[in-house]
Amino acid sequence: MSAIAGVPVAFVHVSDRQRALDFYVGTLGLSMRGSDPFGDFLLAGEALIRLTALPDYKAGAHPVFGWHVEDIEAGVRALTDRGVVFTIYEGFGQDALGIWTAPGGAAKVAWFADPDGNVLSLSQG
């Protein structure tokens, strides 16, 4: 069976549409692809993020979207310079930037949250 053809779309729910747009477009630098009365489509590389506002939305504890990057330290520093705060989880053994390195060093991950608490990530490896 061949893969599904098309552009991947991640659905991210938020409680405040304008606050989310300020973060995803203003802070993260994503571009708007389109809007309708129900939400917004943002360009995220080759994929799309569909932001949909749900007034009583509460984020879960697990990542909803992430970016695989070539240089995670540079990515973390660039986002930190834009005001993004990376999450340090007790007992994970992350470095001062918030980067966790998998045993053996093959993969690295850093987590941060949007204004609604949706967990986002950068990964390398």
Determine the pLDDT at residue 93. 94
Is the pLDDT score of 71 beyond 80? Answer: yes
| Cα–Cα distance, 120 to 125 (Å, whole number) | 17
Q: Of the candidates 74, 59, 56, 75, which has an alpha carbon nearest to the alpha carbon of residue 11?
A: 59
Residues in the chain: 125
Each residue of 46-69: pLDDT tens digit? Answer: 999 999 999 899 999 999 999 999
pLDDT for the residue numbered 2 = 78
Q: Which residues are CB-neighbours of 113 under 8 A, at least 6 positions away?
A: 59, 85, 87, 119, 120
The whole-number average pLDDT for the span 100-123 is 97
Q: pLDDT value at position 15? A: 97
Q: Write down the domain spans for the chain.
A: 8-55, 63-125
List Cβ neighbours of 111 (8 Å cut-off, separation of 6 or more): 63, 86, 87, 89, 98, 119, 120, 121
> First-to-last CA distance in the chain?
28
Q: How confident is the model at residue 5 (pLDDT cuts 50, 70, 90)?
A: confident
Query: Residue 10: what pLDDT?
Result: 97
Residue 3: which residues within 8 A CB-CB, separation 6 or more? none
pLDDT band at residue 4, thresholds of 50, 70 and 90? confident
Q: Which CATH code for domain 8-55?
A: 3.10.180.10
- Do 8-55 and 63-125 fold alike per CATH? yes
The CATH number of the structural domain formed by 63-125 is 3.10.180.10
Query: What is the residue type of 72?
Result: I
Is 1 a residue whose pLDDT tops 80? no
Band the pLDDT of 20: cuts 50, 70, 90.
very high
pLDDT the model gives residue 84: 98
Task: Determine what percent of the chain is predicted with pLDDT higher than 70.
Answer: 100
